[in-house]
A and B are shown apart, each in its own frame.
Chain A
Amino acid sequence: MESGLDPADLQAVWLTLKLASVTTFLLLLIATPLAWWLAHSRRWYKGFVSALVALPLVLPPTVLGFYLLLLMGPQGAVGALTKSLNLGTLPFTFAGLVIGSVLFSLPFAVQPIQNAFESLGKRPLEVAATLRANAWDRFVSVALPLARPGFLTATILAFAHTVGEFGVVLMLGGNIDGETRVLSVAIYSHVEAMEYAPAHLLAGGMVLFSFIVLLGLYLASGKSWQVRK
């Protein structure tokens, strides 16, 4: 092929986008209530939860991947459960990758949203309560729109972080065409096989894509916002 990209590479691009989209979507669903709880709870175990959520920031991805592999494998607790449900085991499947990515990118989604909720303070919610809004209404009509910059940051970080993920995927998913072979792994394989032309194309494409996504979101947000890690 003249372009230097074979169909497997295109499939890797597609798989990466799919993984990042699914992961980001699930992360927003999980991170929003978690961030709300962390922003408002005064329970003694809040510190433990915060530390657990932040753990992927400091752990090498291979460590996380290793434990997930054990946990979801045939001998692991999760693996035993999925087998008993006739779902097989999760490693080396797309679903397994999604779980790994969600855990790995959790702090990147939780922390910006949590910061946004915390910086709101109590006042807007109190005002809404005195204006007859119940708890859910207050959350939807006041907290969510006012935390928008935090959600934007969380979305970008979660998506970008998943696109760039390598270690967890390699430990957990290997290199199966159309199932777990994402871009970063494909680039790695090409380089290992001394195929520099497709590696260049994929790597360069990724740089360009990431830049365009970030630029678009910065421009769309209209306001300056900060990425806090």
Chain B
Amino acid sequence: MSWIRVHFKMQLDSFELDAAFSAPPLGVTALFGPSGSGKTTLLRCIAGLERTTGWLRVNGEPWQDEKTFMPVHQRPLGYVFQEASLFPHLSVRANLEYGYKRIAPSERKVKPEQVVEWLGLGRLIERKDPARLSGGERQRVAIGRALLTSPRILLMDEPLSALDSNSKREILPYLERLHRELQIPVLYVSHAMDEVARLADHLVLLEQGKVIASGALQETLARLDLPTAHFDDAGTVIEAEVAQHDEKYHLSRLDFSGGHLWVSKVAQPFGTRVRARVLARDVSIATQAPQGSSINNILNARIEEIRDEGPDKVIVRMKVGDTHRLLSRITRRSRDNLGLVAGMYVCAQVKSIALMA
């Protein structure tokens, strides 16, 4: 398996795209950036929906270079648009099977039954008029339709942004399931950090048509030189395993290399891998293990870097365990009072944890 390598250039009035990155051959790569940063344009270039100068290699196969431009319909990709864009003149089933029918039978690795199961389409597939589905249902059908072409890469352009928060909540578990089931790379365009933290493994940060960073999600989110560390909802992601349920207090213990975290009881059985998102604003720092604290989660950490953030705040990056990082946003005064410097061992107190399946 080889990495997906991308480099595109485009000049559009005042906007200039000049973006290069590589994405791993498995897992979800998020293209993240503010609106107008060129992430959708970049995704459309990868699909071949925009034609511009550039270079693209997927699975070692050249899709575009100086001499080649593979037309969209010949690229083995699945594309999920921001709006579901189901064909209004076709039934739900005919929509699902539109691409499936157009690939060679020997290429049909993903079967309709699988897609129906993954995306919970059992009750929708017999519906005649796709316009009468809810927004979330339509988007699930659109995702299923793309997957039924057995793509070798799945491109998703903010598939949740046109949905209300209820539909989003309804569809996210399906996306997480796909993340586990699919053995193909996914490029996921988003400007919502909570989606990225939930779904992505790899992060490509875009700003004004340029890639400013690209790397594994957990490491990239912890980099203080990037704008993501200075968002209000800045934070890091910890992958942990469900290790214990405390029935009496209705809590569950998640273990990871840096210790353990107690969270409200989860439904998952022991051994399930889950993701926890810890925001910088929910982490405080103590130089000694605090006595008589109501906070359940206190982790031993080592300060790696401290950066000023405005006149009153600093952001601190800490390492917990072998590979995990935490961010903490504290006041400049606290830093000076506690004498915090890089290299110091401290206790990180985690006030709240967002569990993401």
Contact = CB atoms under 8 A, between A and B. Distances in A.
Given A124-B85, A127-B87, A145-B89, A132 B49 contact: no
Which secondary structure dominates where chain A touches chain B?
Answer: helix
Interface string B80-91: 010101011100
B47 A132 contact: no
B89 A146 contact: yes
A132 B73 contact: yes
Interface string A127-145: 1111111110110011001
A126 B74 CA distance: 13
A129 B87 contact: no
A138 B73 CA distance: 10
A126 B49 contact: yes
A146 B72 contact: no
Contacts of B112: none
A123 to B, nearest CB: 5
B102 interface: yes
Interface string B39-51: 0000000010100
Q: Interface centre among B74, B79, B87, by most A CB within 10 Å?
A: B87
B102 A123 contact: no
A158 B321 CA distance: 77
Given A123-B81, A137-B102, A129 B88 contact: no
Nearest to A126: B49
B81 A127 contact: yes
A130 B87 contact: no
Contacts of B145: 131
Nearest to A123: B85
B213 interface: no
Nearest to B80: A130
Contact of A131 (B49, B71, B146): B146
Contacts of B102: 131-133, 137
Contacts of B149: 131-132
A192 to B, nearest CB: 51
A130 B72 contact: yes
B49 A129 contact: yes
Nearest to B86: A127
B98 interface: yes
Of B49, B71, B72, B146, chain A has the most CB atoms within 10 Å of the CB of: B72
A142 B87 contact: yes
A204 B125 CA distance: 52
B38 interface: no
Interface centre among A124, A132, A134 (most CB of B within 10 A): A132
Contacts of B146: 130-131
5 contacts: A130-B146, A131-B98, A132-B73, A133-B99, A146-B88
Closest 6 CB pairs of A and B: A131-B99, A130-B79, A129-B72, A132-B102, A145-B89, A127-B85
